[in-house]
Structure 1
Amino acid sequence: MAESGRARGRPRSFHGASESTLIQSLDRGIEVLKVVSRGNGMSLTEIAEASGHPASTTYRMLTTLQKHGVVEFAESGQLWYIGLAAFRIGSTFLGRTSIVEQSRPIMQEMMTTSGETANLAIVDRNDVIFVSQVETHEPIRAFFRPGTRGPIHASGIGKAMMAYFAADRVAAILRAKLQRFTPNTLTDGRDVIAELQRTRARGWAIDDEERTLGMRCVAAPVFNQFGEAVAGISLSGPSVRVSRGRDEAHGTLVRAAADEVTNAIGGQFPQPAGS
């Protein structure tokens, strides 16, 4: 009797992932793709060293990925970059989550109200990845193109999300050496934890010129249906406009926007600590 409905996602005989079920060349190719995605133009030698594969093998994988548009090669600088096809694949994932779609009008309103650039980002390990932005019309403004990465500890969105991470996840992030970018960057784990506690208490986080001198941002987290912080919204701009004196007003605005996105995607707010 023929099966009804959609085809299965895996064979009947499949009993779970193991080394025997992996296609090794595909596995290595994805490793190379991840290496290229972490750079802003990399040479063959750099990619081979970072991926741990011989240069000849790495080159074959790169040319295969290039055939599908997932990576691109710039003849002028002899460097490899992420290609348009990779962006399209990533955009499909973002569309599935609906956060980008749902947040766009909310970010537009936040930018109009504040006069500052609105950002949406997610976290990948110890990095923040910007996935959407609504730019202000001011001549001096913050700009993060989609896919831009930033250090989680020196980011308003990063700290806004970390404030709601489990203690073991925060501890794992803090075990890595925290790079100092400006005199304001928090690089001591105890200082970061204290700032996360303040962030959770008030509901929004601040990047007080911790990544770039002269630029500040205020951010708040977006929660999924399990009450987990899965994204963050921020407004950012020069410190003369996003000043300390306006933090309370900006924080209230950003938190309201983030909460609106949480509701729009069917998210749930986490229980207060100790409840």
Structure 2
Amino acid sequence: MVQAVHRAIHVLRELATATPRLGVTELADRIGVAKPTAHALLRTLEAEGLVVQDRESGKYQLGPGLVTLGNAYLDSHELRTRAATWADRLATQADAAVWTGILTDGHVLVVHHAFRPGGAMQVLETGASLPWNACALGKAIAAFLPAERRTALLTGELPRVTGSSLDDPAELQAQLDRVRETGYAVDENELTLGDAGIAAPVFDRTGEVVGGLGLVGPIERLLAENARQEHAISVREVARSLSRDLGAPRNAGLRACN
């Protein structure tokens, strides 16, 4: 491990969690280095546009260069590229927004967001990071991970975003068992009050789960008695089509169920 690179990454992560900015002394304390070292790291990152310094306070925050890097990552991500057509098709079919996401560090990163057709003002959620345990996407992915990775998630941090978010490992394990049986996951009031999600896993050519795709919207629209099963079937079938587009074998997912 290159120590300077590790420290620079540590600086960026601290700034990503800071509210709203951090000074040199604060950052030096957080990453455990001398103040001159922290200052040198910040000046280097600033020169590359990865951090910027507020003129009035002298404190630092994340810079626009990270947006360019993030967009480059999203634009080159195969799942996002392949998902665009299928997500748009599902959004039109279900008359609801569709998110495609991947699991990273216990969170789901939304890599594509298809808006609900003809809906009111909507906020683009591409790039959003969601606790895996509080959204259908996260549970759909986690259910088909190898056993040791599922255990790591269940024994790790389980944030409560709303009063309905699940933070009981046993209850989550039971949900993941059901997801493996049905092929889809559901969340209700767990990420946003009044909203629900229905998601299914997506597999790649190796047969491993690489992400999830699902509907997001008001509970009364997605989970109504006469619509819930129809939506679940649609999500599951579109996720399977996307998996086939990625080259997944027909028995994809079975290995994780063992």
TM interval, short-chain normalised:
0.7 to 0.9
What letter corresponds to residue 247 of structure 1 in structure 2? R
SS of residue paired to 1:181: coil
Match of residue 156 from structure 1: 136
> What displacement does 1:83 show?
3.3
What letter corresponds to residue 119 of structure 2 in structure 1? E
What letter corresponds to residue 195 of structure 1 in structure 2? Q
* Residues 140, 238 of structure 1: 8 Å contact kept: no
Return the match for 2:15 from 36, 43, 47. Answer: 36
What letter corresponds to residue 214 of structure 2 in structure 1? S
* Residues 180, 257 of structure 2: 8 Å contact kept: no
CA deviation map 1:199-255 (0-9, x unaligned):
111111011111221010111111122211111111101112122422211111111
What letter corresponds to residue 128 of structure 2 in structure 1? T
* Residues 52, 63 of structure 2: 8 Å contact kept: yes
SS of residue paired to 1:176: coil
Match of residue 239 from structure 2: 258
Match of residue 271 from structure 1: 254
What letter corresponds to residue 227 of structure 1 in structure 2? G
**Structure 1 unaligned regions, length at least 5:** 1-18
Match of residue 131 from structure 1: 111
SS of residue paired to 2:215: strand
* Residues 144, 257 of structure 2: 8 Å contact kept: no
* Residues 41, 79 of structure 1: 8 Å contact kept: no
* Residues 130, 144 of structure 1: 8 Å contact kept: no
Match of residue 217 from structure 1: 197
* Residues 100, 132 of structure 1: 8 Å contact kept: yes
Identical-residue share of aligned pairs (%): 27
> What displacement does 1:130 show?
1.2
CA deviation map 1:148-191 (0-9, x unaligned):
11111111110000100122212111222423333322211110
What letter corresponds to residue 261 of structure 1 in structure 2? L
What letter corresponds to residue 139 of structure 2 in structure 1? K
> What displacement does 1:74 show?
4.7
Change (3 A) 1:272 1:169: closer
Change (3 A) 1:40 1:126: farther
Return the match for 2:100 from 111, 116, 120. Answer: 120
* Cα root mean square deviation, aligned: 2.5
> What displacement does 1:95 show?
4.0
Match of residue 57 from structure 1: 37
**Structure 2 unaligned regions, length at least 5:** none
Q: How does 1:224-235 map to 2 (within 5 A)?
A: 224-235=204-215
Indicate the larger mover: 259-268 or 109-118.
259-268
> What displacement does 1:38 show?
4.7
> What displacement does 1:89 show?
2.6
TM-score, length-scaled by structure 2 = 0.86
> What displacement does 1:59 show?
3.4
What letter corresponds to residue 138 of structure 1 in structure 2? G
Change (3 A) 1:272 1:65: closer
Rounded to whole Å, the distance in 2 between the matches of 1:148 and 1:40 is 18
Rounded to whole Å, the distance in 2 between the matches of 1:123 and 1:51 is 26
Change (3 A) 1:212 1:265: same
What letter corresponds to residue 232 of structure 2 in structure 1? G
CA deviation map 1:78-102 (0-9, x unaligned):
6644433323333333444421111
Change (3 A) 1:225 1:108: same
* Residues 144, 256 of structure 2: 8 Å contact kept: no
